[in-house]
Amino acid sequence: MALKAFGRVHLAAGEVREVTFTLETRDLRVLDEHMRWAVPAGSTTVLVGASSNDIRLRGELRTRPE
């Protein structure tokens, strides 16, 4: 797991705000068995939270073979 698209959003108590961010292809790359950068096909879990101990939202990102 790695931190990507980090940004700090300050909210007042009870305030709700929509936040958008973009994950680029390079953000999803890993080194394959031939030591080349590749985006693996399959599912990646996306977590959004106040901290790594306080996850507020979970989602799934699906990728196809390159």
| pLDDT digit string, tens, across residues 4-55 | 777 788 889 999 998 888 888 888 888 999 999 998 889 888 888 888 899 9
Residue 35, both tokens: 């030591």
Q: What is the pTM of this model?
A: 0.57
Q: What own/partner pairs with CB < 8 Å and gap ≥ 24 does 38-42 have?
A: 38/66, 39/63, 39/66, 41/65
Confidence (pLDDT) at 1? 60
Q: Which residues pair with 31 in a beta bridge?
A: 37
Nearest to 40 by CA among 63, 23, 10, 14: 63
Instruction: Give the confidence band of 66 by pLDDT, cuts at 50, 70, 90.
Output: low
| Residue ranges with strand state E in 1-66 | 30-31, 37-38, 42-51, 54-63
What pLDDT is stored for residue 19 in this prediction? 85
